[in-house]
Chains A and B, each alone.
Chain A
């Protein structure tokens, strides 16, 4: 449940979420669709007390560390079951809210051109986002996760996420199974695991940070598309297939989400996973795929840019008696790009074809479902192209680094104060860069050389959900 994971196909990868609009205006169509380069920023995912009130379960039943979005097997099944499970009592109101505040400091002041409007070039406190959710059971087999977010940094309200589901539990060949269908606005939003774009670590990051480099198509479409995804859980197999189409300029304007351009036919999304829940531990391995073609300029359909994604991912959770929890999540996505429009029409890419490889790895430890520590690695490698990646001295978008986070979640357990009405997380996160835009230094928005490590970011955050 990131807030603001809207794809901005037109920005440079070093544009933070809050700067994306400015970047879009600055860059315009110049960059073309070549880069589905929007990085995932400001990812904020949530444990929703409305679900806890509905089910009678504590946050820790569904979430590792008693706070979202890292799901336990119980939480995964709740989600796959369509958000409709209850404790049998009527009268539950499927509404929640949350607010996320943070203080961000980067190693070196950002360039004037990269400074977020209305904020300083460094050391920024912000009410990053405030959201209301329609989240829970709407009918016997219909449930929702719908998030409306006000960005305190961008100062706009948008439809952040939409996942409306119908699901039914049934027995197939003697196996407890679930079939369902989701209407949603973001590929990977529907996924029950914590390895794909929408739900993987980090679960929140600063709008003032530099991001994690270019992103593949599969995680760059949030808010700009709508899709129908039938899915099935059968024994240990989870399978999902979705078809997405682009939202119109008028619709995205009304929702305050990003317009992608004209989508070339339906964009298929596929997901297949093997999930083995042994109660005290569980593991999964999965495959994901997506294909999409875009006409960046809807009035010009002479050429398009197309993207093909294939990914492999896996996760392991040791839960035991829930007092000492270990998790490991990893993913790899390969993207093949055919830039017929960007290269052929705009002439803003040297080559018509390119690739992008994205690696992510994160390991976490949680003590007593209250104290957590996570260490993550991110790395993106892409084809060199001096025209596309003018900010790079080498023409390469390669970006890598690490994220370390410690957090404290005092509530969210069965006997916690405020349960099931409130939950809270306080955390400290540090992002360090080894490479940014191809090397240890790159060209910042003012045209000056900037070291990758100048973007190292420390964020203190306070996250409250009711």
Chain B
């Protein structure tokens, strides 16, 4: 009985882990799609590849307005003086104009909090 019980627990754990892994993979997939849909026209994830906006590779933990070879920053972004933390990114992606008044990014914002969280988690993996 004990053996059967342990086996059942192990199976449940394994299924749970598999489910969790699958869920994370699904979230990552959704986040990658969100990046393409919401950000990809203007931003690249390739290091050093700047488009209308700077590369977002390594954005989490980076000081705002400091991508060396990107020349399109607004004065507001150059002088923002903060670091792109998860919380700052969340605020900025939700309401760019409110987070950085005077910024150049023409984006209305992503209102879905879960989608923002997934997106920022995805960006966090792009070191």
Question: Which residue numbers of A lie inside 8 Å of B, CB to CB?
Answer: 55-57, 61, 72, 74, 77, 85-90, 169, 176, 279-280, 319-322, 414-415
Contacts and interface: CB of A to CB of B under 8 A. Distances in A.
Contact of A56 (B33, B37, B40, B51): B51
B51 A57 contact: yes
Given A87-B72, A88-B71, A169-B106, A56 B50 contact: yes
Contacts of B32: 321
A176 B97 CA distance: 11
A319 B37 contact: yes
Nearest to B108: A176
Given A88-B72, A414-B46, A321 B37 contact: yes
Contacts of A415: 46
B49 A85 contact: no
Interface in B1-59: 32-33, 36-38, 40-42, 44, 46, 49-52
B70 interface: yes
Nearest to A322: B36
A353 B42 CA distance: 51
Given A320-B33, A321-B32, A57 B52 contact: yes
Contact of B106 (A72, A88, A176, A319): A176
Contacts of B108: 176
B44 A85 contact: no
A288 B73 CA distance: 38
Given A74-B41, A88-B72, A321 B50 contact: no
Contacts, number: 53
Nearest to B35: A321
Nearest to A62: B41
A92 to B, nearest CB: 12
A321 to B, nearest CB: 4
Contacts of B51: 55-57, 61, 87
Contact of B52 (A85, A279, A322): A85
Contact of B49 (A90, A176, A319, A414): A414
B46 A61 contact: no
6 contacts: A56-B49, A87-B52, A87-B70, A279-B37, A414-B44, A414-B46
B106 A87 contact: no
Contacts of A176: 106, 108
Contacts of B72: 86-88
A34 B33 CA distance: 53
B38 A322 contact: no
A138 B114 CA distance: 43
A183 to B, nearest CB: 25
A176 to B, nearest CB: 5
Nearest to B70: A88
Contacts of A280: 37
Contacts of A87: 50-52, 70-72
What are the 7 tightest A-B residue pairs by CB atom distance, in nearest-first order?
A: A88-B72, A88-B71, A74-B41, A321-B33, A56-B51, A321-B36, A61-B41
